[in-house]
Amino acid sequence: MLDPSKLETVLRRGGDVADLVTRYRVANEHRKELQGKLDELRARRNDANKKMASLDKKSDEFAAARDELRTLSQEIKQGEHEHSTLEAESTDILLHIPNAPHESVVDGTSEADNPVVKTWGEKPTFDFEPKNHWDVGEALGILDFESAAKISGARFCVLRKDGAQLNRALINFMLDLHRERGYEEIWPPALLRRESLIGTGQLPKFEDDAFKTISEQHELFLSPTAEVALCNLHREEILPADALPKRYVAYAPCFRAEAGSYGRDTRGLIRQHQFDKVELVKLTTPETSYDEHEALRADAENVLEQLGLHYRTVNLCTGDISFASTKTYDLEVWLPGQDAYREISSCSNCEDFQARRAKIRYRPEAGAKAQAVHTLNGSGVAIGRTIVAILEQYQRQDGTVEIPEKLRPYMGGRASLD
């Protein structure tokens, strides 16, 4: 939840944010005015109680004081009801206001305004016309969109034979790599409570993008990303300072309705309802969060560099950063079959935005007041999009695909998909 002191800064995002900020300020100002009136009425009620205690219960003065007390109590009851309504309204509006961008985030309206901060490797060159990954994968018999559509509908894929093994190899490779770099591995649940999604900012604003299952006992959501479960490991906790930073890595299947992406990326693995991802999450102190952010980015970049995949890193502008983020780096891998860079990992610092919603705090020292931690998350990285990048960057003219050297131990020592 946005710290109200950052309302001016969040206006840099543009869009409908200004309207939300105005609505919040009006509702919150009304709430504060009513709070002042309630404090005054309660003081008058206390005075009336004291006055009655000193009066003869049979006197006219006592009866008048009793009538005044009844009137005051009724006004207070009505005022408290109105105050609760205004407080809920203010909170609901605040839950729909995104995080404020960091000062290092440039102003902009779309991905076209994102500055490139790093480029690694060279674009692969071919002496033939490179194909899209779906053509490569279908020809190899490892991507089966037709069967997936029969089973589940559009935006699903069945991975067959080497495709299934490649998916599993990438998961194990990434988990091993991140464990070596100091992350604790977690296997989280795939079904999440509403409170967990509110805590990380997916709800209430993005409920249309969530898959939900309802039983007689439970309302549960399919996990859109392991970030939700990893952050909520410490919901409503106060951590000691020496327990920070927390660094977690998890593989998890992810599920998204993609409600706002109708007509986009209808072919291939880029935008699926179900996909696999290895996720990185950190909880740390405000003083160290930006150093941890740079390290998080380096950990995600290391995956692509180990696999020899050409990519670039961009610093997202104010119009492109996600709802909960204050600063985000996107890693964009080169896809020669599409002649374009596509996002394969987002590494975000959310500062205290999620921690305030989920009530994750730490105590800087014994006896000190608890304060919100900073949370960070990043894909380490998206499995399906890595398969896309391998099929397109490592394709050969004869239709086979070279397996990156670092993956070969996970693929039975094989050097190619054929």
Q: What is the pLDDT of residues 314-340, one digit of tens each?
A: 999 999 999 999 999 999 999 999 999
Q: What confidence tier does 101 reach under pLDDT thresholds 50, 70, 90?
A: very high
Share above pLDDT 70 across residues of the chain, in percent, rounded to a whole number? 99
Instruction: Give the mean pLDDT of 375-385.
Output: 97
Task: List residues with catalytic annotation.
Answer: 256, 271, 343, 346, 385
Per-residue confidence (pLDDT) for residue 34, from 0 to 100: 95
Per-residue confidence (pLDDT) for residue 75, from 0 to 100: 92
Dihedral angle, C-alpha 248, 251, 257, 262, nearest 10 °? 100
Each residue's pLDDT tens digit, 293-316: 999 999 999 999 999 999 999 999
- Inform me whether the pLDDT recorded for 213 exceeds 80: yes
Contact in structure between 361 and 237 (CB atoms under 8 Å): yes
Alpha helix ranges (H) inside 326-381: 353-358
Q: What confidence tier does 81 reach under pLDDT thresholds 50, 70, 90?
A: very high
Share above pLDDT 90 across residues of the chain, in percent, rounded to a whole number? 88
Each residue's pLDDT tens digit, 385-400: 999 999 999 999 999 9
Each residue's pLDDT tens digit, 27-67: 999 999 999 999 999 998 888 888 878 888 777 788 787 88
> Which residues are bridge partners to 251 per DSSP?
278
d(CA 286, CA 102): 13
- Inform me whether the pLDDT recorded for 260 exceeds 70: no
- Inform me whether the pLDDT recorded for 264 exceeds 80: no
Per-residue confidence (pLDDT) for residue 261, from 0 to 100: 67
Among the listed residues 347, 319, 350, the one whose alpha carbon sits nearest the alpha carbon of residue 3 = 350
Each residue's pLDDT tens digit, 229-258: 999 999 999 999 999 999 999 999 999 998
By CB atoms closer than 10 A (0-12, 13-18, 19+), residue 30 is middle
By CB atoms closer than 10 A (0-12, 13-18, 19+), residue 370 is middle
Chain-wide mean pLDDT for the chain?
95
Lowest mean pLDDT of 59-73, 76-90, 193-207, name the range.
Answer: 59-73
Question: What domains are there in the chain, each with its CATH number?
Answer: 4-95 (1.10.287), 111-417 (3.30.930.10)
Among the listed residues 348, 226, 338, the one whose alpha carbon sits nearest the alpha carbon of residue 277 = 226
Instruction: Give the mean pLDDT of 196-202.
Output: 97
